[in-house]
A and B are shown apart, each in its own frame.
Chain A
């Protein structure tokens, strides 16, 4: 038995001895359905783009149902119902039921506030499989400050109790940064207290709002090392009680993350307006045209949209990736990070120690973490800050 979220077992094997025209296209495993960008929280690390979509631009119910059916036929196993706050859409119950009818596994990614508590019973009845609840800290003081929503933390705890009472499996997701890294131990204890089965200790990845807020969020290296040691100790202590997944902060990493498991290889993302992306930040790469489910079937987009084939496989890679023994482990890291930091989406992710820019990336992080933290730019629809200037390029 293998865990196909982490290995290459679903890849199509190309016949030998034949020149390749297009990279091999496998079956996607997961689809992130960003149903809306509306959200009661205002987290400064939000992974949504700076230009947030408004309600009147969102896909309608019938289109989402068609997309979900096409996803099932394409081989998708998990649907991640996300946003924004997905319960802001009154049709979420209907969409969840539709997924269950299609045999799709549904994962609700929620803040737990707003309409979520009032909707969870109906979602349970519709066949929801799993809830991933965000927490912004271990205490109300920290959580409410980061989420920009007074009373949010207490409401989340009440929601967590309700999820567990219903018998739904609960995962807590905590995005870690300078403002809450000292609470990692308490967040682990909170997950146990709430009877979560899983905890994601996810160090901030710097895209979207998090990139705009990087200097306010970047933790210092010794704090990062301490948080990793705490998680490793807790994993041993809590074996069989709590599964802890950790996302490492890649500015301090030795090797890059295998972003989305490889471009156009395992996952796809549908935005509130119907654009299909290989990852949630892909629109930050200029020159790629992303097709929309309003005009194309999902399978056609997955196989034939040139944007999906742009960085698929390994043929696009420059050195040092091209000859690297890790090229099919991390797929050159993250294209969006190479774009953001180097202005070149096809460069080796500077998070890799083999990148000539790696030392400068780490120095940038160290300098930002050591300086005074600026105020957060809170996430708001229509509140996008000016794009960062090119001086942040390495």
Chain B
């Protein structure tokens, strides 16, 4: 699924973003799963706080990165939607 701009995503109990000092990268820890997180995904997840809407997350990233809002929106809504489907992110 694709998340909506009005969704307010959050990481529920049992899902943790962690910097893995041994492998020198971010990982997203979830029940029976560990996702390798690249720098862009880590930037998205750092803004997932249960307060911001997806639209606000996209706006913040559009300021941070030199990229068209619609491109960022496409990537962010797909990534959050995928993690909602996997029951890693709640909304």
Alpha-carbon gap, A40 to B18, bound state (A): 36
Distance between B16 CB and nearest chain A CB, rounded to angstroms: 7
B23 contact set on A, CB distance < 8 A = 10, 27, 75
B79 within 8 Å of A (CB atoms) = yes
B1 within 8 Å of A (CB atoms) = yes
Alpha-carbon gap, A88 to B16, bound state (A): 28
B20 contact set on A, CB distance < 8 A = 75, 77
Query: Is there contact, CB below 8 Å, between B13 and A167?
Result: yes
A53 within 8 Å of B (CB atoms) = no
A4 contact set on B, CB distance < 8 A = 27, 34-36
Find the B residue at minimum CB distance from A80.
Answer: B32
Count how many chain A residues have C-beta atoms less than 8 Å from C-beta atoms of the other chain: 31
Question: Of A9, A107, A242, which contacts B31 at CB under 8 A?
Answer: A107
A78 within 8 Å of B (CB atoms) = yes
Name the interface residues of B40-57: CB closer than 8 Å to any CB of A: 41
Find the A residue at minimum CB distance from B28.
Answer: A1
Name the interface residues of B4-26: CB closer than 8 Å to any CB of A: 12-16, 18, 20, 22-23
B72 within 8 Å of A (CB atoms) = no
Query: Is there contact, CB below 8 Å, between B33 and A3?
Result: yes
The 6 A-B pairs with the shortest beta carbon distances in the complex, nearest first, are A169-B14, A75-B22, A130-B31, A105-B29, A197-B87, A130-B14
A9 contact set on B, CB distance < 8 A = 36
A243 within 8 Å of B (CB atoms) = yes
| 29 A-B pairs whose Cβ atoms sit less than 8 Å apart in the complex | A1-B35, A1-B37, A1-B79, A2-B35, A2-B36, A3-B35, A3-B36, A5-B33, A5-B34, A10-B23, A73-B22, A77-B27, A77-B34, A78-B34, A107-B31, A107-B32, A129-B13, A129-B14, A129-B16, A129-B29, A129-B31, A171-B32, A198-B32, A239-B1, A240-B1, A240-B84, A240-B85, A243-B86, A245-B32
Distance between A32 CB and nearest chain B CB, rounded to angstroms: 12
Over the window 354-383 of chain A, the binary record of Cβ atoms lying under 8 Å from chain B Cβ atoms (1 yes, 0 no) is 000000000000000000000000000000
